[in-house]
């Protein structure tokens, strides 16, 4: 974990998750300022817009704009949900935020609740991280105790309460409407949109869902101003962002860096490629983002626009680094298996198509590929993309399309020779557990 | 209104329409599976993808709201490509076993695959196999064929009101299933067979009986409850193979109750009566019509000569046609008697001669959707009126608030705002309390006839809540259920309920027990009017010399089986016109004339809203059986009664209804000349509450083996509330003897919180309980 930013900064104590520690770092100042100065909601949303903050959950949607969709004047309940489901392979940043700095998420959510007129929020925490869940509950208790949550926060007439919801570990529950279904106690299946959550969300009430890191960025924006946040990054890509770097690097971990930092710098921070091998490919934004060849990546800066121009997505900021010892067919087989297993099964193209994709990649990997299998993969992905209820269908297709596009030769070799282009011994060396 | 262009055609649609609905209005067919106009939108099959101008990808027509100026292409290259892509996905794991699938020939997947499927599959891996589920005796499963459209899931939750099916597991492992170890027990379950677009859910009784294209489709009307669901009867080689709904938005919409759908299984059982039979010297012999009719004519003439015409009486089933009931009463009246009735389970006839018309729902069935307050008095509503209850359930979702006053409640699968559970003898007082609360809060003045009764009661919390509810409504109705009509104070309840309706500015209605509960009045099958006589109760309590019974099985269909058996046993002649050779009656009947069930005759039923629905025979007569209207016509002529020369059943109907063939609205009325009401005595003993379970209600449904295998057909329990069980010193599971003044029944006790204190709910119309005699009154319960 290392930070040149705001969320993971100054977390070197051993009780950084405690309220007292957070307050020492300037925590809850933003909230206190809002309450003391009675800052109007519009002004807060304006500040968030100005900051250029884009959703950290994957889609990169401008947060201020999303907040402005909430019908503030709508009578009755309105809800806020924080998406800490973090199930995307390669992504492990929200877990660290909640583990070391939970109060920044709580403060961010209280401010969001204030700005959008919500009285209640839920933090949906991934089902397989127990310690993080317990710690968040503790943080909530601290905040309630301190009058930061509940009725009449800090003596004002603003009330907001926040609850943690522990999921069961299904990837699909990270999709925002499946997440809402799950909170409602139903099977986690995405809803068809429209209607969007801002008009028909949790229990049918207007709801805003943001990622953990998105909320965690809010206190800074309010404390220091939207412009200050924007200035941390680059235009249209405000702020710093956490990148979960994994794969064939010497120092995998979370790195908080300004958006716009060159990929090469990030790679260096992560200790470079293991064993001095050559970079082969990078998935820059979590397993659903298209893979990019190493050379292309080396020319990119880590921000939404640059990665998108290169043909991929910044996504959740999970950077999966693959060196030359990687068999791309095997890598894709693993990814395809994930989506096949995680499809909710509701809509036809994803339910039927993810299994088909996996089986075709699986047979190629196992030397049973057929000459027209690459065309078949392209055609099946084309029939899934854009035809499903939620974006999991796209998420399952993009890796397949991009692997086949950029590493088609390797797939063709597999089909023709019924074995890997990368010799097994090389793969084995590359996959050895790394001992520093 | 919104402007939209679909496939180049301009049209206007109302706000909130979907592209699918808009397309339907211009006749553009958008292929679909999960979409169903009566169910919520799931948008999961993705078959309905269409091209929309400016949309980057194809959109599902079923779920996409129309926006102004939208341009849609349902069959453009982009749309068809998407549709074909989805079809391929649907087929890769489908077994394609059409030749051995019951759905073959009427399968949406099969039909659409002709247009959108490839000739050759690109999927060569192993196909998915899904284990079958036990959904009960009515629905057969082949889950490997399931395309996960979730129509069945949405039906049980949204229409039947109880979540009995769900989609378990994820992704490719997703399966539709009931709860563990549970079946689908809704009284509407058969509809999921129609809804399933593939052969995953098919009819268990019909399984492999015929192919869809081998059967002819003939229209008919259900002879069971008072709604008169419209049917398509499917026939092969003159045998009824299957019954499906005929869509009629005003009546049954696109649904059927299981009773409507599966009762046909009772048509052709072992005990179907195929030849006339007469008893000679204590032995039954089969004979021809001539002999049997001579026997009847001689018998009736002789009895009339010896004992006078008033010694002859007739009882007709309310499931008989209008024409049958009319001719039955014509024969009786032709003989000079007024002893005729079809209100077989009723006990209070004190309004006879004071009624202004035939009691009816007081509104049309389709108006239910617009109600905002409803009070139901004395009804086993969900099981007695499955599809009317379904309409109420939908209305409740739109804000209808329902209250009910009953001696026993089941779960109706919609929320009741007020639920007042009182013993039978307290029912009129309970209504009087509501009335009093209405008077106290309201504007309209109470009619003086109610004053004494109203003065005798104190308003309580619950009565007040019901009165408030009704008082705050704008479209209010108060309905009498079958139980209330059969109740010992039925007329008082009727008067009170109608006064409650009047004071709350609502409409008053009677739900009606059977297919022809309204029609029987119009046919004159009642002992008042032209020639008056004894009612159904009096005909049993003061025995007659001759009885003509039409479509009745006395032990199950009459109010007091014990009195009936006594009366019939002592009579000189009992003539039964029946489709079935009813075992119990062999002892006391003298003649059995085989008459047609509804599938073999023509006629009409008048449903609860006063709608006349006529139907034709769908199959030929079985054996020597004849339509009852013909038998009665011939009988009338043979008796020399005159005026029986009808050429057709239509001519009989014209005689009853006039040339229009529909009911003159003036003949429908729930008004009666009320006499002052007095407080009823409250019973101190244990009171019986008798329901008529849905599949025990008439001779045909009692013979349907699949329906008799459902949960609804379990042998009756003595259902008692926990508190009353305690006072009686009984436990659930105890075997007990229930005794009434007339007899006893041995049954098992079950605990039922829905039963009023001091009551035993014990179903009637069953072989284990008829010996108790009357449907109501005091009983004792003793453990054995
Ligand atoms: C299959 C799928 C899984 C997702 N998983 C997550 C997740 O684990 N965490 C997350 O924040 N967003 C996830 N998302 C994105 C959310 O739907 C949503 O866009 C996001 O939470 C919005 O927050 P943001 O605007 O702050 O990014 C997922 C989306 C899909 C389609
Ligand atoms: S795309 Fe997949 S995960 Fe998303 S709704 Fe459809 S089946 Fe479920
Ligand atoms: S009919 Fe529209 S998605 Fe199924």
* pLDDT band, very low/low/confident/very high, at A435 (cuts 50, 70, 90): low
DSSP B125-177: SPPP--------SSEEE-GGG-----HHHHIIIIISSS--EEEES-GGG-EEE
Q: Do A387 and B170 touch (CB under 8 A)?
A: no
Nearest ligand 1 atom to alpha carbon A171? 3
Taking CA atoms only, the protein residue closest to ligand 2 atom 4 is A390
Whole-angstrom distance, CA of residue B716 vs CA of residue B766:
8
Residue B297 has pLDDT above 80, yes or no: yes
Question: What does the pLDDT look like over B47-76, one tens digit per residue?
Answer: 999 999 999 999 999 999 999 999 999 999
End of a domain among A323, A357, A390?
A323
pLDDT of B671 over the 60 cut: yes
Q: Are A95 and A196 part of one and the same domain?
A: yes
Show the ligand 3 pocket: residues with CB < 6 angstroms: B 32-35, 43-48, 60, 62
How far is residue B501's CA from residue B431's CA, in Å, rounded to a whole number?
Answer: 11
Q: How far apart are the first and last CA of chain A?
A: 16
Q: In Å, how far is B92's CA from the nearest CA of chain A?
A: 8
Give residue-wise pLDDT tens across range A125-134: 999 999 999 9
Average pLDDT, integer, range B182-211: 97
The answer to whether residue A254 sits within a structural domain is: yes
Nearest to B523 by CA among B678, B329, B722: B329
Q: Which residues are A163's β-sheet partners?
A: A122
List, in order of start, the domains of chain B with CATH numbers: 2-92 (3.10.20.740), 277-350+517-663 (3.40.50.740), 365-510 (3.40.228.10), 687-783 (2.40.40.20)
Tokens of B375: 């009070």
Mean pLDDT to the nearest integer, B586-610: 98
| Residue B60 Cα, gap to closest chain A Cα (Å) | 8
Distance from CA of B379 to the nearest CA of A (A): 34
Please choose, from the candidates A407, A404, A332, A336, the residue with its C-alpha nearest in 3D space to the C-alpha of residue A373: A404
Answer yes or no: is A250 within a domain.
yes
**Beta pairing, strands B717-720 & B778-783:** unpaired
Q: What is the mean pLDDT of residues A72-82?
A: 93
Same domain, A275 and A424: no
Domain encompassing residue A165: 19-232
Question: Is the Cβ atom of A317 under 6 angstroms away from ligand 1?
Answer: no
Is the CB of residue A389 less than 8 Å away from at least one CB of chain B? yes
**Substitution site in B24, B32, B85, B154 for ligand 3 pocket (most atoms within 8 Å of beta carbon):** B32
3-state secondary structure of A144: helix
Separation of alpha carbons B218 and B535, rounded Å: 37
Sequence-distant (6+) residues with CB within 8 A of A340 are A354, A355, A357, A358, A396, B171, B172
Q: Which chain A residues are Cβ-neighbours of B57 within 8 angstroms?
A: 385-387
Transcribe B393-415 into DSSP letters: HHHHHTT-EEEEEESB----SS-
pLDDT digits (tens, 9 = 90+) for B417-429: 999 999 999 999 9
Same domain, yes or no: A26 and A44: yes
Collapse the DSSP code of A121 into the 3-class scheme (helix H, G, I; strand E, B; otherwise coil) and give the result. strand
Closest CA to B409 of B769, B753, B758: B753
Residue B621: the pLDDT is 97
At B687-716, the pLDDT tens digits run 999 999 999 999 999 999 999 999 999 999
Smallest CA-to-CA distance from B407 within B305, B327, B484 is with B484
**Is the CB of residue B259 less than 8 Å from the CB of residue B694?**
yes
Asked, for residue A207, whether it belongs to a domain, the answer is yes
Does ligand 1 come within 6 angstroms of the Cβ of A342? no
Phi-psi region of B555 (alpha: psi -120 to 50; beta: other; left: phi over 0): alpha
When mean pLDDT is compared across A42-46, A122-126, A199-203, B117-121, the lowest value belongs to: B117-121
**Token output for B316:** 């007709």
CATH of the domain at A275: 3.10.20.600
pLDDT at position A5: 87
- How far apart CA A171 and CA B528 sit, in angstroms, is 73
Tell whether A436 is covered by a domain: no
| Full-model pTM | 0.95
- pLDDT, residue B324, reads 98
- Please tell me whether residues A350 and A291 are part of one structural domain: no
Residues in chain B: 784
Q: What is the average pLDDT across B578-586?
A: 96
- Residue A189's domain is classified under what CATH number? 3.40.50.11540
- In a shared domain, residues A129 and A274: no
How far, in Å, from the CA of A22 to the mean position of ligand 2? Answer: 39
Q: Is the pLDDT of residue B558 over 60?
A: yes
> Is A352 in CB contact (< 8 Å) with chain B?
yes
Q: What average pLDDT is seen over chain B?
A: 96
Give CA–CA dist B659/A112, Å, rounded: 73
Q: Are residues A300 and A374 in the same domain?
A: no
Residues A296, A268, single domain; the answer is yes
- Using alpha carbons, list the distances in angstroms from residue B636 to A385, B300, B301: 76, 11, 12
Q: Is A83 on the interface with B (CB under 8 A)?
A: no
> B174 in contact with A at a CB cutoff of 8 Å?
yes
Tell whether A391 is within 8 A of chain B (Cβ): no
Quote the pLDDT of residue B442: 80
Q: Which conformational region is residue A48 in: left (phi greater than 0), alpha (psi within -120 to 50 degrees), or beta?
A: alpha
**Structural domain contains residue A4:** no
Q: What per-residue confidence (pLDDT) applies to A434?
A: 60
Whether A343 and A280 map to the same domain: the answer is no
pLDDT higher than 90, residue B665:
yes
DSSP letter for B612, please. Answer: E
* Range in A61-65, B181-185, B336-340, B412-416 the model is least confident about: B181-185
Residues A199 and A126 occupy one common structural domain:
yes
Question: Considering only CA atoms, which residue is closest to atom 22 of ligand 1?
Answer: A210
pLDDT at A375 over 90: yes
Domain count for chain A? 3
Q: What is the pLDDT of residue B493?
A: 98
Residues A220 and A246 in one domain: no
In whole angstroms, what is the distance from residue A384 CA to residue A351 CA?
A: 10
CA angle A259/A263/A268 to nearest 5° reads 115
Q: Provide the number of CB pairs (under 8 Å) joining chain A to chain B.
A: 95
User: pLDDT for B10-61, tens place per residue?
Assistant: 999 999 999 999 999 999 999 999 999 999 999 999 999 999 999 999 999 9
Same domain for A386 and A314, yes or no, is no
Chain A, window 353-382: residues with a beta carbon less than 8 angstroms from a chain B beta carbon: 353-356, 359, 376, 382
Give the integer Cα–Cα distance in Å for B766 and B771. 9
Write down which residue in A265, A300, A323 finishes a domain.
A323
Q: Which two tokens stand for residue B155?
A: 């039906």
Predicted confidence (pLDDT) per residue in B250-290, tens digit: 999 999 999 999 999 999 999 999 999 999 999 999 999 99
A213 in ligand 1 pocket by Cβ < 6 Å?
Answer: no
Q: Which of A194, A342, A349 sits opposite B89 (nearest CB)?
A: A349
Residue pair B428/B378 in contact by the 8 Å Cβ criterion: no
With a cut of 80, say whether residue A436 has pLDDT above it: no
CB A325 within 8 A of CB A369: no
Could you tell me the pLDDT band of residue B643, with boundaries at 50, 70 and 90?
Answer: confident
Which pLDDT belongs to residue B443?
Answer: 72
Confidence check: pLDDT of B681 > 90? no
Q: Assess whether the C-beta atom of A56 lies below 6 angstroms from ligand 1.
A: yes
| Angle value at C-alpha A300, between A295 and A306, nearest 5 degrees | 135
Distance CA B739, CA A379 (A): 76
Q: What is the pLDDT of residue A14?
A: 87
Percent of chain B whose predicted confidence (pLDDT) is above 70: 100
Q: Residue A368 has which token pair? A: 């049973």
We report the CATH number of the domain holding residue A406 as: 1.20.1440.230
- Based on the fold, state whether residues A32 and A140 are members of the same structural domain: yes
Q: What is the pLDDT of residues B462-486, one digit of tens each?
A: 999 999 999 999 999 999 999 999 9
Pick left, alpha or beta for residue A185 (phi over 0 → left; psi -120 to 50 → alpha; otherwise beta): left
Tell which of A232, A261, A277 closes a domain: A232
C-alpha–C-alpha distance, residues A29 and A103, integer Å: 12
Quick: pLDDT tens for A382-423.
999 999 999 999 999 999 999 999 999 999 999 999 999 999
Report if residue A138 sits inside a domain: yes
């Amino acid at each position: 974990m290392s930070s040149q930013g705001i969320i993971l900064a100054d977390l070197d104590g051993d009780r950084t998750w405690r309220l007292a520690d957070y307050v020492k770092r300037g925590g809850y100042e933003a909230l206190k300022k809002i309450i003391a100065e009675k800052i109007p909601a519009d002004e807060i949303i304006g500040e968030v817009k100005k900051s250029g903050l884009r959703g950290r959950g994957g889609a990169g949607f401008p947060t201020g704009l999303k907040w402005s969709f909430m019908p503030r004047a709508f009578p009755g309940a309105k809800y806020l949900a924080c998406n800490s489901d973090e199930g995307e392979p390669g992504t492990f940043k929200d877990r660290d935020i909640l583990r070391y700095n939970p109060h920044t998420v709580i403060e961010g959510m209280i401010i969001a609740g204030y700005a959008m007129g919500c009285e209640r929020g839920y933090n949906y925490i991934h089902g397989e991280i127990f310690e993080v869940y317990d710690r968040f509950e503790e943080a909530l208790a601290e905040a309630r105790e301190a009058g930061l949550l509940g009725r009449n926060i800090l003596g004002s007439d603003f009330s907001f309460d926040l609850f943690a919801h522990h999921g069961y570990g299904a990837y699909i529950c990270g999709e925002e409407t499946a997440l809402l279904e799950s909170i409602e106690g139903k099977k986690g299946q995405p809803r068809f949109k429209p209607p969007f959550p801002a008009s028909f969300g949790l229990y049918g009430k207007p709801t805003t869902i943001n990622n953990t890191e998105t909320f965690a960025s809010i206190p800074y924006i309010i404390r220091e101003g939207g412009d200050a946040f924007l200035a941390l990054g680059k235009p249209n890509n405000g702020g710093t962002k956490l990148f979960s770097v994994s794969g064939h690097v010497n120092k995998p971990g979370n790195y908080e860096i300004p958006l716009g930092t060159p990929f090469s710098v990030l790679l260096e921070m992560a200790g470079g490629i293991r064993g001095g091998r050559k970079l082969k490919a990078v998935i820059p934004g979590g397993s659903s983002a298209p893979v990019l060849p190493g050379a292309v990546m080396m020319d990119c800066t880590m921000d939404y626009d640059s990665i998108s121009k290169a043909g991929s997505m910044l996504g959740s900021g999970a950077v999966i680094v693959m060196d030359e010892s990687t068999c791309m067919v095997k890598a894709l087989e693993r990814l395809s298996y994930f989506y096949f297993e995680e499809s909710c099964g509701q809509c036809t193209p994803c339910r039927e198509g993810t299994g088909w994709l996996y089986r075709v990649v699986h047979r190629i990997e196992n030397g049973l590929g057929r000459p027209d299998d690459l065309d078949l993969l392209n055609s099946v992905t084309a029939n899934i993309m854009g035809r499903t209820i939620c974006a999991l269908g796209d998420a399952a297709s993009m890796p397949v399309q991009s692997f086949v596009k950029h590493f088609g030769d390797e797939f063709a070799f597999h089909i023709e020779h019924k074995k890997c282009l990368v010799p097994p011994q090389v793969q084995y060396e590359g996959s050895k557990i790394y001992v520093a | 209104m919104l402007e939209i262009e679909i496939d180049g055609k301009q049209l206007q649609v109302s706000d909130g329409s979907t592209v699918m609905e808009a397309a339907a209005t211009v006749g553009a067919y958008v292929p679909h599976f999960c979409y169903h106009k009566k169910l919520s939108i799931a948008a999961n099959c993705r078959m309905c993808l269409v091209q929309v101008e400016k949309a980057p990808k194809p959109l599902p027509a079923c779920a996409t709201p129309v926006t102004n100026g939208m341009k849609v292409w349902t069959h453009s290259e982009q749309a068809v490509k998407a549709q074909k892509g989805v079809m391929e996905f649907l087929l890769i794991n489908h077994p394609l076993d059409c030749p051995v699938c019951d759905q073959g020939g009427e399968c949406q997947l099969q039909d659409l695959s002709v247009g959108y499927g490839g000739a050759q599959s690109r999927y060569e891996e192993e196909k998915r196999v899904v284990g079958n589920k036990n959904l009960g005796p009515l629905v057969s499963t082949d889950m490997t064929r399931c395309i996960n459209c979730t129509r069945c899931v949405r039906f049980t939750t949204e229409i039947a009101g109880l979540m009995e099916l769900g989609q378990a597991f994820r992704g490719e492992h997703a399966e539709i299933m009931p709860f563990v170890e549970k079946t689908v027990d809704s009284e509407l379950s058969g509809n999921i067979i129609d809804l399933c677009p593939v052969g995953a859910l098919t009819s268990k009784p019909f399984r492999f009986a015929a192919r869809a294209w081998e059967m002819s489709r003939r229209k008919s009307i259900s002879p069971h409850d008072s709604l008169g669901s419209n049917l398509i009867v499917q026939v092969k080689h003159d045998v009824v193979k299957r019954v499906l709904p005929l869509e009629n938005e005003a009546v049954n919409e696109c649904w059927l109750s299981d009773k409507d759908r599966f009762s046909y299984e009772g048509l052709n059982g072992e005990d179907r009566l195929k030849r006339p039979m007469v008893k000679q010297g204590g032995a039954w012999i089969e004979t021809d019509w001539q002999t049997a009719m001579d026997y009847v004519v001689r018998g009736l003439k002789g009895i009339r000569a010896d004992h006078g015409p008033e010694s002859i009486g007739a009882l007709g089933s309310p499931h008989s046609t209008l024409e049958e009931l009319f001719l039955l009463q014509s024969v009786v009246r032709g003989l000079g008697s007024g002893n005729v009735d079809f209100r077989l389970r009723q006990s209070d006839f004190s309004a006879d001669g004071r009624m202004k018309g035939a009691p009816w729902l007081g509104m049309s069935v389709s108006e239910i959707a617009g109600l905002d307050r409803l009070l139901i008095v004395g009804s086993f509503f969900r099981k007695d009126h499955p599809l009317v209850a379904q309409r109420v359930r939908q209305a409740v979702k739109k804000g209808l608030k329902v209250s009910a006053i009953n001696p026993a409640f089941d779960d109706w699968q919609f929320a009741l705002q007020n639920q007042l559970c009182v013993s039978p003898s307290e029912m009129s007082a309970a209504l009087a309390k509501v009335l009093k609360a209405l008077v106290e809060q309201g504007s309209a003045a109470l009619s003086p006839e109610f004053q004494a009764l109203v003065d005798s009661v104190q308003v309580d919390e619950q009565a007040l809540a019901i009165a408030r509810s009704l008082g705050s409504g704008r479209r209010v109705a108060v309905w009498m259920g079958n139980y209330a009509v059969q109740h010992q104070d039925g007329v008082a309840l009727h008067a009170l309920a109608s006064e409650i309706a009047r004071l709350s500015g609502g409409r008053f209605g009677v739900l009606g027990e059977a297919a022809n509960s309204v029609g029987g009045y119009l046919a004159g099958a009642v002992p008042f009017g032209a020639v008056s006589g004894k009612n159904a109760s009096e005909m049993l309590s003061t025995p007659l010399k001759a009885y003509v019974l039409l479509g009745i099985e006395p032990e199950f269909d009459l109010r007091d089986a014990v009195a009936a058996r006594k009366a019939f046993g002592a009579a000189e002649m009992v003539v039964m016109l029946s489709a079935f050779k009813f075992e119990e009656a062999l002892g006391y009947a003298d003649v059995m004339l085989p008459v047609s069930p509804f599938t073999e005759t023509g006629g009409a039923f008048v449903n609860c809203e006063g709608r006349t629905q006529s139907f034709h025979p769908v199959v030929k007569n079985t054996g020597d059986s004849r339509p009852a209207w013909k038998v009665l016509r011939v009988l009338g002529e043979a008796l020399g009664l005159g005026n029986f020369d009808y050429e057709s059943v239509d001519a009989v109907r014209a005689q009853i209804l006039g040339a229009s063939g529909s009911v003159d609205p003036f003949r429908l009325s729930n008004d009666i000349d009320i006499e002052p009401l007095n407080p009823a005595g409250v019973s101190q003993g244990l009171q019986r509450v008798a329901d008529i379970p849905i599949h025990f209600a008439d001779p045909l449904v009692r013979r349907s083996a699949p329906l008799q295998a459902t949960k609804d057909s379990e042998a009756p329990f003595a259902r008692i509330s926990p508190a009353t069980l305690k006072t009686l010193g009984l436990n659930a599971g105890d075997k007990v003897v229930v005794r009434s003044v007339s007899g006893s029944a041995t049954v098992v006790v079950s605990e039922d919180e829905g039963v009023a204190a001091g009551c035993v709910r014990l179903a009637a119309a069953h072989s284990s309980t008829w010996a108790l005699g009357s449907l109501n009154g005091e009983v004792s319960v003793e453990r054995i």
